[in-house]
Amino acid sequence: MLITKGKEKGFKEEDLLIIILVVIVFAIIGARAIYVLTNLGEFTNAPFEAVRIDHGGLSFHGGLLGGILSGWIAARIKNYNIDIILDLAVPGIAIGYSLVRFANIFNQEILGRPSIILSLERHPTQVYGIVIGLAVLFIHIYLVKRKKYIPGTLFWSFVFYYSLLRGTIEETFRENPLYALGYINEFWGAGFFTLTHLITPLLLLLSWWMINRKKKIWRWN
């Protein structure tokens, strides 16, 4: 989809393929790096495990950061508008997120916390993640159909709504280490505050600021 839409925007196919390859590589590097940095205890006695991505352990936020930075550099080299490319990448990112969470079900990863109120043993946080990925995809489609949008605002709208849903729903019921407060409500199966909880307000402010910045720059031009 990105290639097809990109060609419609005037980008060369071979250039887009190079940018996509660069983004994928550095997104994986960023995802693993952030996971390792936030889980250093796991690698104290086995430092070489840090590069074993086949053993699991990737951070979505790290992947997003690595992808954005590498994509921005690659786009600058090719003299392309990174905002347009980021907007075109949103459907792939959203679908990819849902697919990863679907795979997490079979790998028994990102488990939810035990809850008394549910008839299930744990919160199905993988399913919550699938729904979040689909939700931000539908929001993106809605924004695109309005047809009047400024380049870059689609991507940062995705970051905003993803961060909001991930931080309030999936992360609240996901059995992640608690970095602050350390409160767990066993009835609801909710825990506060994980690292993602703590960075979510910053991501919301950043994405809101970027959206408004894109709008202001567009008006000035």
76/161 same-domain check? no
End residue of a domain, out of 23, 54, 80: 80
Report DSSP letters for 51-64, one per residue.
Answer: G-GGG----HHHHH
Among 204, 6, 213, CA closest to 89? 6
End residue of a domain, out of 61, 80, 99: 80
Q: What's 182's DSSP letter?
A: E
pLDDT value of position 184: 96
pLDDT value of position 219: 62
130/193 same-domain check? yes
pLDDT value of position 196: 93
- Residue 38 forms part of a structural domain: yes
Spans in the chain with pLDDT lower than 50: none
pLDDT value of position 3: 66
- Residue 107 forms part of a structural domain: no
46/128 same-domain check? no
Which helix (H) or strand (E) element contains residue 116? Answer: none
- Residue 108 forms part of a structural domain: no
Bridge partners (DSSP) listed for residue 191: 184
Rounded CA gap, 214 and 217, in Å? 5
- Residue 93 forms part of a structural domain: no
122/215 same-domain check? yes
**pTM metric for this prediction:** 0.90
End residue of a domain, out of 53, 80, 107: 80
What is the count of structural domains for the chain?
Answer: 2
Helical spans, DSSP H, in 39-145: 60-78, 82-107, 125-145
126/60 same-domain check? no
45/136 same-domain check? no
- Residue 105 forms part of a structural domain: no
133/220 same-domain check? yes
Tell me which residue range forms the domain holding 156.
115-221
- Residue 134 forms part of a structural domain: yes
pLDDT value of position 48: 82
pLDDT value of position 133: 97
